[in-house]
Amino acid sequence: MQEEQKSSGSTQELLTFTLGGEEYGLDILKVQEIRGYDAVTAIANTPEFIRGVINLRGIIVPIVDMRIKFNLGHAEYNELTVVIILNVAGRVIGMVVDGVSDVISLSADQVKPAPEFGSAIDTKYVMGLGTVDDRMLILVDIEKLMTSRDMELVESVSE
C-alpha cells in the first residue's frame, strides 16, 4: 500500500542533509551521487563559498560550501562531511554539507509555505517547510539556488 502512495504524483522524494544543526531537503532527482569530502583544487579570485574544483571522472566540478553560502559560519571538515554531486540545469556541481541523513517521501499536505527567515537563508530559494514526525525540513529549490545570479560564477569557474 505504501508503495502505491509513493508512486502517486502528490508525493515528492527528497534527500535530506544537515547544515549547522538544521535539516534541509532537496529533490532527489537532482542528485547524481554522494561522496566523502576530499581535497579540492583552489581557484584564485573565486567567492569564499566556492571551495575549489575536483576532477570527477574527467569532469571538472566546482565545489560549493553551503554553510558559507547560507552564512552559517565556518565549517569544520571531518569524516562525516560529504559532497552531494548535483546535476542541475545540465551542469555538475558539488555541494559540501555537514552530513546526509536519508531519503524521504513527502506528500503535499506535509509541506507548508516558507515564512520569512531573516538573514539565515534567502527565502527565494526555499520551497517550503516539510514536516515528518517531529522533524522539520527546510526544502531548498536547489536548481533555483544553483542557477541564481550568485552561482553564475560557478559556471565561469567550471569552463
**Distance from first CA to last CA of the chain, Å, rounded?**
47
Backbone angles phi, psi at 123, to 5 degrees: -70, -10
Least confident residue range of 18-22, 42-46, 120-124: 120-124
| Structural domains of the chain ordered from first start | 11-147 (2.40.50.180)
95 vs 84: CA distance, rounded Å: 5
The pLDDT tens digits of the residues spanning 47-71 come to: 888 999 999 999 999 999 988 888 8
The bridge status of strand 59-65 relative to strand 91-97 is: parallel
Q: Is the pLDDT of residue 90 over 90?
A: no
CB neighbourhood size of 147 (10 A)? 18
Q: How many angstroms separate the Cα of 12 from the Cα of each of 25, 77, 90, 91?
A: 10, 30, 21, 22
Q: Is the pLDDT of residue 11 over 60?
A: yes
Asked if 98 and 18 count as a contact pair (C-beta separation under 8 A), the reply is yes
Q: Is the pLDDT of residue 4 over 60?
A: no
Torsion, Cα of 62, 66, 69, 71 (10° steps): -160
82 vs 95: CA distance, rounded Å: 8
Q: What pLDDT is recorded for position 155?
A: 52
4 vs 18: CA distance, rounded Å: 29
The pLDDT tens digits of the residues spanning 111-136 come to: 888 776 565 556 778 888 998 888 89
**Angle formed at CA 104 by CA 98 and CA 106, multiple of 5 degrees:** 120
